[in-house]
Amino acid sequence: MKRSILLIGTLLFISISMLGQSKEQQADAMIEAFLNSVEVPGLSVSVSQKGELVYSKGFGFADIDNQVPVDPSQTKFRIGSVSKTITASGLAKLYEDGKVDLDAPIQQYVPIWPDKGETITLRLLAGHLAGIRHYKGLEMLSKTKYEEVVDGLGIFINDPLINKPGTEYSYSSYGWNLISVAMENAAAPEASFLSDVSFLSYMQTEVFEPLGMNNTEADHADQDIVNRTKFYKRKPRGGFVNAPYVDNSYKWAGGGFVGTTEDLCKFGQAHMKEGYLKQETLDEWMQSQKTTSGKETNYGIGWRTVKMDGYTFYGHTGGSVGGITRFFMHIPSQTVVAMTGNIDPLPFGTLDKDLLKLFIN
């Protein structure tokens, strides 16, 4: 009881102290309160509204040893599963070009996928309804270099489905491996191995470049990537050490990109209304799918829906080895918030939604 009274009093004091402050000052106060509650090596926060950055700041270090500060315009963090939302836009371009049918059997685009007695489609895969399993054991710590996206299918291609497709929402990053192979083959249907088109090159030319996302790319572990942050984990008694080495080439589409918060704001702004994509595509991609029993999943085609305090937000969260990301947007006010940290886990709580509400109002 005393703790509840103290918490209410603290929140009331913060609210009173923020009266008369600008939104930037209020955002600073909210982020400082967060940083005072949890140790973070580096943090980047960007907010855009109606096509313009209204807040963008870095906190702490991208590289502790060399004291390299976080720069929200340049520091590239692992964005984890936010990669799914970005990949979904590449899928949308193929859909609008008539190169993929969301409801066709996946074997139409990935002939090597075995018949498991059930029909799996791109729509089901993109909505985590296909019955494909997620990580198990230490798979998220893979150090293996996969040269082609099709090679990553070997991790799970022979495993049984975990449920009948369409009946249950079951989150699966591996489902997006299958999507990426389908995209690659659909983009070069004559024979992808005879073409220069790969999943990554397609994402570069059809998503990153058109949207001006010049600081978003695949997280090649064996390459020096300019402005890529170091990745950390916590010591048991405080402080940080380097996170384990991982090679995310096994899951580019589902969690393998690095990027900046300002790039994520550009991406969000491009999905507020018709332009980069048609309005009917945006509506279909963000609309919650349903199980065969009619239960809404609050997940469309790579986009998650979150309803909170009377608001509806669209976006995704991302968790990686040495990285945590939040990306959400509010369409009526055309507001985007993107937050990245170079450590995992990192308990953001409702900070991203609180910042959204601050700038919405």
- What letter would DSSP give residue 192? G
CATH superfamily, domain at 22-360: DD-peptidase/beta-lactamase superfamily (3.40.710.10)
Nearest partner of 243 among 343, 135, 345, judged by Cα: 343
How confident is the model over 109-128, as pLDDT tens digits?
A: 999 999 999 999 999 999 99
What separation, in Å, do the N-terminal and C-terminal C-alpha atoms of the chain show?
32
Question: What is the per-residue burial (b if ≥16 Cβ within 10 Å, else e) of 150-161?
Answer: bebbebbbeeee
In the chain, domain spans: 22-360
Nearest partner of 38 among 348, 319, 321, judged by Cα: 348
Using 50, 70 and 90 to split pLDDT, how confident is the model at 197?
Answer: confident
Q: What is the DSSP string of 69-138?
A: E--TTT-BEE-TTHHHHHHHHHHHHHHHTT---TTSBGGGT-TTSPP-SS--BHHHHHTT-S------TT
- Average pLDDT over the chain, rounded to whole? 94
Structure tokens belonging to residue 145: 């270099």
Residue bearing the bigger pLDDT, 294 or 8: 294
How confident is the model over 234-291, as pLDDT tens digits?
A: 999 889 999 999 999 999 999 999 999 999 999 999 999 999 999 999 999 999 999 9
- What letter would DSSP give residue 172? -
How confident is the model over 71-110, as pLDDT tens digits?
A: 999 999 999 999 999 999 999 999 999 999 999 999 999 9
Helix then strand then coil, % of the chain, to nearest 5: 35, 20, 45
Cross-strand bridge partners of residue 63: 68
Question: Residue 78's pLDDT is what?
Answer: 98
